[in-house]
Amino acid sequence: ANIIIGNGSNEILELVARAFLNPNTTTVASKHAFAVYKIVTQSAGASLIEVPTYNWGHDLKSFHEYVDSSTRVIFIANPNNPTGTYNSHEEVQSLLERVPASVLVVLDCAYFEYVTKEDYVKPIDLLNRFDNLLITKSFSKIHGLASIRVGYGIGNTSLIEALNRIRQPFNVNALAQLMACEALNDHEHTKQSIDLNTQQYDFLLDKLTKLGLECIPSVGNFITFKGNFNGKEMFTNLMKKGVIVRPVDLYDMQDFIRVTIGTADENIKFISALEELL
């Protein structure tokens, strides 16, 4: 088998840590990468080496410089959460060509379906070439099944077998499996979600820019932006107005907040509440 199913792609990341890490090993990830990479690394007693970012994204050209004999795993979110940046097929392929085959590269593609860029990664091409690649995907984003907890990993047979050996035998319940299968077949919902996201991204970006806020260009279903405010305070104040956003102070981005791209009505309500608070 080339696929492993998990309670969200989060569980797949935990399995990677349990299978490949110990206190004498390290992982490599970007400074503003998904927080779970550090959590799963530390849960195995290992250490995470942070690579400085370039324009809020992964500087993949320099990743190999941080790899040494203790490195077991490289984590790359593409697109990245919480910044929304992405790396091209060429950039990812170049990294895979540079790192030792003994180092597992985990390409976390949770927001894969939202990307419309021509030069974005072609997962099957990479999987056919590199045995040290694991691609993870989620049903929480485009399919809207976040609370159901389903995700999966794709890799070569021996890698998947290694992860399956430590996976709990009854990890994903039958209802979640059924809903995941239905979601995969619901092409109309997927297309509607992508179209809505593309439209409303342009609307939100325009409104936020006109408010003088610095937005990080995003290919995901959210925009992370900077303003003359404390992110946690803005989060609390917006919550009082019935709008939930995400503070990103955990990522050392204290004056940023991340907003998910909603429906037209939701986005208008958000902009209206934000204007009152700025």
Domain 188-277 has CATH 3.60.10.10: no
Q: Looking at residues 22-44, what average pLDDT do you find?
A: 97
Say what the pLDDT of residue 87 is. Answer: 97
Task: Say whether pLDDT at 193 is over 90.
Answer: yes
In which band, very low, low, confident or very high, does the pLDDT at 1 lie, cut at 50, 70 and 90? confident
Beta carbons within 10 angstroms of residue 13's beta carbon: 25
Task: Report the CATH architecture of 3-185.
Answer: 3-Layer(aba) Sandwich (3.40)
In which band, very low, low, confident or very high, does the pLDDT at 278 lie, cut at 50, 70 and 90? very high
In which band, very low, low, confident or very high, does the pLDDT at 24 lie, cut at 50, 70 and 90? very high
> Which pair of structure tokens corresponds to residue 155?
């890799």
Q: pLDDT over 90 for what percent of the chain?
A: 99
CA 172 – CA 166 distance, rounded (Å): 14
Task: Name the residue ranges covered by the structural domains of the chain.
Answer: 3-185, 188-277
Would 3-185 and 188-277 be classified into the same CATH topology? no
> Which pair of structure tokens corresponds to residue 192?
């509607």
Radius of gyration of the chain (CA): 19
* Cβ partners under 8 Å of residue 167, min gap 6: 4, 6, 15
Q: Looking at residues 229-252, what average pLDDT do you find?
A: 97
Q: What is the mean pLDDT of the chain?
A: 97
What is the SS3 string spanning the chain? CCEEEECCHHHHHHHHHHHHCCCCCEEEEECCCCCHHHHHHHHCCCEEEEECCECCECCHHHHHHHCCCCEEEEEEECCCCCCCCCCEHHHHHHHHHHCCCCCEEEEECCCHHHCCCCCECCHHHHHHHCCCEEEEEECCCCCCCHHHCCEEEECCHHHHHHHHHHCCCCCCCHHHHHHHHHHHHCHHHHHHHHHHHHHHHHHHHHHHHHCCCEECCCCCCEEEEECCCCHHHHHHHHHHCCCCCEECHHHCCCCEEEEECCCHHHHHHHHHHHHHHC
